[in-house]
Every structure is written in structure tokens, then in C-alpha cells.
Amino acid sequence: MKKLALGISLLVMSQGAFALSENAKFVAVDSSLESSFCVVAATQGYDAAKAAAKSVDGYKANLLHLTSCNGVSIREFANSAKTIVSKSIKVVPADMSDESKMCALAAQQGAKAVLKQFSSKASGVVCNGLSLTAFAKQNSSM
């Protein structure tokens, strides 16, 4: 009964996570718990997979780090899946103001591109509470 409840809850949890990106979809190749944990790790992160394993059996949660997904550790798999999902995010300006355009450009191409295009206007611009340079560094992996 626990396995059935876990399977249903994993299915429900993973369906919402698939909406993160149209380009990234993760599916289990079989009905094993390990495959289910890999799907959860890919769609919701390692901590969510650990929580799912703990809900089945605390012992499995302690051994989760030994699980491999597509030939890599489940933690690495979760991180690489996060990169795939985040690379599919498109940054657009919130409005047509120069500041909004600068923030979008900083996320896409970095602070140097903003300085080249907007030069002196870029001084003192804040993007999501961060300086333009810090915002560009934080979002450079997109």
C-alpha cells in the first residue's frame, strides 16, 4: 500500500514539475522506486527525491546518494536537470523602460553588453534588488 501511495504521489508531484519547461521532459523507464526517485530529482531537485525516499522508507533515504540515474549520481543528475530546465527560460523586459531592457540584456549577455549599449545610463541600475553586475553574474547560466 505504501508503494502504491508513493507512486500516486510521485505522479501527482511530477506532473506539476513538467510544466517548468516545454523542452525538458523526464520519464521513468520502469516502475522501480529508484526510477521514480530519479524523475523526482530531475523535476523537483535532490531534496524532494530524498523526501520521497524517506516517505517510503527511512533506510532508502539514507542510501539515496548511492542511487545512479543515467549513469551519474542522483545528486549530479538533479543538478544537470536543473541546468537543462533553467536554460529553457527566456528573459524579457518587464516594460519598455531602458532600465528593464538593461536588466534583461544583463541576464542574457552579461554586464559588458549593457555597458557597451547603454554606457552611462547603466550607472546605478538595480535589477531584482541587485546591482546590474551582480544580477548579470547570478543569471549568467541562463
In a domain, 92, yes or no: no
- pLDDT score, position 6: 37
Q: Could you give the angle at the alpha carbon of 107 between the alpha carbons of 128 and 80, nearest 5°?
A: 105
The confidence band for 9, taking pLDDT boundaries of 50, 70 and 90, is very low
> What does the pLDDT look like over 14-32, one tens digit per residue?
333 333 344 556 777 788 8
Cβ within 8 Å of residue 34, ≥6 positions away? 67, 69
Tell me, yes or no, whether 79 and 102 share the same domain. no
- pLDDT score, position 8: 37
Q: pTM of the entire structure?
A: 0.44
In a domain, 112, yes or no: yes
Tell me, yes or no, whether 65 and 112 share the same domain. no
Q: Is there a contact between 38 and 28 (Cβ–Cβ < 8 Å)?
A: yes
Helices 33-44 and 46-56, packing angle to 10 deg: 150
Domain count, the chain: 2
Tell me, yes or no, whether 62 and 39 share the same domain. yes
Tell me, yes or no, whether 134 and 73 share the same domain. no
Name the residue with cell 544580477.
135
Minimum mean pLDDT range among 3-12, 21-30, 72-81: 3-12
Q: What are the strands, taking DSSP E only, across 8-131? A: 68-69, 72-73, 126-127, 130-131
Region 94-120 average pLDDT = 87
Tell me, yes or no, whether 9 and 74 share the same domain. yes
> What does the pLDDT look like over 81-101, one tens digit per residue?
766 555 556 677 878 888 888
Tell me, yes or no, whether 107 and 53 share the same domain. no
If residue 37 lies in a helix (H) or strand (E), which one and from where to where? helix 33-44
Tell me, yes or no, whether 116 and 58 share the same domain. no
Domain that holds residue 118: 98-138
In a domain, 93, yes or no: no
DSSP state of 18: G
Region 115-142 average pLDDT = 82
Whole-angstrom Cα distance, residue 74 to residue 31?
Answer: 17
